[in-house]
């Protein structure tokens, strides 16, 4: 697919680039708070008397609350946009971080996880819509810039936990409340821009009807099922890294907590970089080509990792994280092109589905780690990128649109 020629300079000319940066920064704050929750597991597991299964259940509660509400929020805001839901969602996450700092047992940890998850479910659909509105027409680039903020936040979480919380104790999680308050202020500004944009739309003539899908109904449903399978593959694998990679490094190679957190940071930083390149690459060569490379193409690296030493494991983890993360902007934009006019619904569904599948995977992997070992689970989950071979069944939307011409 040829590039549209609408890059950052064109977006800046339309006034949308500062908003793209702001909503990406809001995504960074939102996902930093999420990552703090996941990164404190090694610090609270023994003091709070938690098993791997309980850690998996905490992740499940977080990711289910972050997923179940998202499609409903997206569908609702497709009909009734809510610009100031963005700072409201961040406020819920702020409450969750405050609860996490004082959590004294499994139940209070679950409550903190649920509050952070609810905040995330409110944030993502409308934030993704704002990114598309501010894109200037280059939707892959805008989706990548938005998502790279989230992936950067996921990478920063373990690093900040290693620097701030690990040396000082769980109560120092409270410092992240300040970051959350900054996020509320930032998203309030984004909400004002979004509200002004909606008001401008109301002053214009009635908007055109919703565009027709590029494929028939059965083909659209089949393509969405494949995209869901690809999302499952990606998130099942990354769920292991987010919740258990530090434990794997500590058990197999004798890493300390801080060293393991830094390795997790390297993996998550690679996913942030991969996310940034995935969208623009999809604008240029097509979404399907990106999906081939990013999911099925990573399988040789994931299969090799469980049999390697610490240095090679760390290197391939970074490479696999980079490649796999480039898939999600392509998945979201591909799905939005399948169902034009349903930006919030699609964003809510796929962000929610990703969180939900990651949560279920984390819970299952936790039970399996208790039954067998963390090393055995890592070897098993290495096969999940094979699901990426289903990309073969996706229609090439660029060729479909070009066919009538």
| pLDDT tens by residue, 242-285 | 888 989 999 999 888 878 888 888 888 888 788 777 777 767 77
- 241: Cβ–Cβ under 8 A, 6 or more apart, which residues? 264, 267, 268, 317, 321
The pLDDT of residue 214 is 60
**In this structure, is residue 400 part of a structural domain?**
no
User: How far from chain centre, in Å, is Cα 10?
Assistant: 27
Q: Give the three-state DSSP class for 102.
A: coil
**In this structure, is residue 405 part of a structural domain?**
no
The pLDDT of residue 151 is 74
Instruction: Compute the CA torsion angle 185, 190, 196, 197 (nearest 10 deg).
Output: -170
Mean pLDDT for each consecutive 10-residue tract of the chain (405 residues)?
Answer: 40 63 91 88 85 83 79 76 86 93 89 91 84 75 79 81 86 92 92 81 58 70 88 86 88 87 85 77 75 82 92 92 84 80 74 76 85 90 87 74 49
CATH code of the domain in which 166 resides:
1.20.1250.20
Q: Alpha-carbon distance 381 to 387, whole Å?
A: 12
The pLDDT of residue 32 is 92
Does the CA dihedral 279-280-286-289 come out positive or negative? negative
Q: Alpha-carbon distance 301 to 317, whole Å?
A: 8
Q: Which two tokens stand for residue 259?
A: 């060293």
- 240: Cβ–Cβ under 8 A, 6 or more apart, which residues? 248, 361, 362, 365, 377, 378, 381
Q: Alpha-carbon distance 121 to 129, whole Å?
A: 14
Q: How many domains does the chain have?
A: 1
DSSP class of 211: P
Q: Which two tokens stand for residue 107?
A: 């139940």
**In this structure, is residue 4 part of a structural domain?**
no
User: How far from chain centre, in Å, is Cα 224?
Assistant: 18
**In this structure, is residue 262 part of a structural domain?**
yes
Q: Which two tokens stand for residue 194?
A: 């979004």
The pLDDT of residue 47 is 87
Residue in the block written with tokens 């006034």: 15
Burial of 207 per CB tally in 10 Å (0-12, 13-18, 19+): exposed
Residue 104 has a CB neighbour count (10 Å cut-off) of 11
What pTM was computed for the model?
0.67
Q: Alpha-carbon distance 118 to 184, whole Å?
A: 15
The pLDDT of residue 349 is 79
The pLDDT of residue 15 is 53
**In this structure, is residue 404 part of a structural domain?**
no
**In this structure, is residue 108 part of a structural domain?**
yes
Q: Alpha-carbon distance 102 to 120, whole Å?
A: 21
Q: Any long-range contacts for 261-264 (C-beta under 8 Å, 24+ apart)?
A: 261/39, 261/42, 261/158, 261/159, 261/161, 261/162, 261/166, 262/158, 262/159, 262/162, 263/314, 263/317, 264/39, 264/158
Cα maximum dimension of the chain = 65
211-237 pLDDT per residue, tens: 556 667 788 888 888 898 888 888 888
Phi/psi zone of residue 210: left (φ > 0), alpha (ψ -120 to 50 degrees), beta?
A: beta
Helix (H) or strand (E) holding 8: helix 8-13
Look up the domain containing 118 and give its range.
11-203+212-393
DSSP class of 162: I
DSSP class of 308: S
Q: Which two tokens stand for residue 396?
A: 């090439």
Half-sphere exposure of 4 (CA within 13 A, CB side): 21
**In this structure, is residue 116 part of a structural domain?**
yes
The pLDDT of residue 13 is 42
Q: Alpha-carbon distance 134 to 129, whole Å?
A: 9
DSSP class of 207: P
Q: Alpha-carbon distance 376 to 391, whole Å?
A: 28
Q: Give the three-state DSSP class for 342.
A: coil
3-class DSSP string for 22-37: HHHHHHHHHHHHHHHH
The pLDDT of residue 116 is 93
**In this structure, is residue 363 part of a structural domain?**
yes
């Amino acid at each position: 697919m040829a590039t549209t020629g609408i890059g950052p300079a064109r977006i800046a000319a339309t006034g949308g680039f500062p908003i793209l940066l702001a909503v990406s920064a809001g995504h960074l704050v939102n996902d930093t708070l999420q990552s703090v929750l996941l990164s404190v597991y090694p610090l609270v597991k023994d003091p709070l008397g938690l098993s791997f299964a309980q850690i998996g259940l905490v992740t499940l509660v977080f990711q289910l609350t972050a997923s179940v509400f998202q499609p409903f929020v997206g569908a609702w805001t497709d009909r009734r946009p809510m610009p100031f839901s963005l700072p409201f969602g961040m406020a819920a996450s702020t409450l969750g971080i405050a609860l996490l700092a004082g959590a004294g047992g499994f139940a209070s940890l679950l409550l903190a996880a649920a509050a952070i998850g609810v905040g995330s479910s409110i944030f993502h659909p409308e934030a993704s819509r704002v990114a598309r509105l501010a894109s200037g027409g280059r939707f892959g680039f805008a989706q990548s810039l938005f998502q790279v903020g989230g992936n950067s936040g996921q990478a920063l979480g373990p690093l900040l936990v290693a620097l701030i919380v690990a040396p000082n104790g769980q109560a120092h999680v409270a410092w992240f409340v300040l970051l959350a308050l900054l996020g509320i202020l930032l998203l309030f500004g984004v909400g004002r821009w979004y509200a002004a944009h909606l008001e401008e739309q109301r002053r214009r003539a009635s908007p055109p009807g919703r565009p027709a899908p590029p494929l028939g109904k059965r083909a659209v449903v089949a393509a969405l099922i494949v995209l869901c399978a690809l999302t499952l593959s990606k998130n099942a694998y990354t769920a292991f890294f987010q919740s258990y990679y530090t434990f794997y490094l500590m058990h197999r190679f004798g890493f300390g907590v801080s060293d393991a957190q830094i390795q997790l940071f390297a993996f998550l930083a690679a996913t942030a970089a991969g996310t940034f390149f995935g969208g623009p690459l999809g604008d240029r060569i097509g979404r399907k080509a990106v999906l081939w490379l990013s999911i099925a193409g990573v399988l040789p690296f994931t299969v090799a990792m469980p049999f390697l030493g610490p240095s090679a494991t760390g290197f391939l983890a970074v490479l696999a994280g980079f490649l796999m993360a480039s898939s999600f902007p392509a998945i979201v934009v591909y799905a939005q092109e399948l169902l034009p006019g349903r930006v919030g619904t699609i964003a809510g569904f796929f962000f929610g589905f990703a969180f939900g599948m990651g949560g279920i995977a984390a819970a299952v992997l936790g039970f399996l780690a208790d039954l067998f070992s963390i090393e055995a689970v890592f070897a098993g989950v290495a096969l999940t990128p094979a699901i990426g071979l289903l990309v073969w069944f996706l229609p090439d939307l660029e060729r479909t649109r070009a066919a009538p011409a």
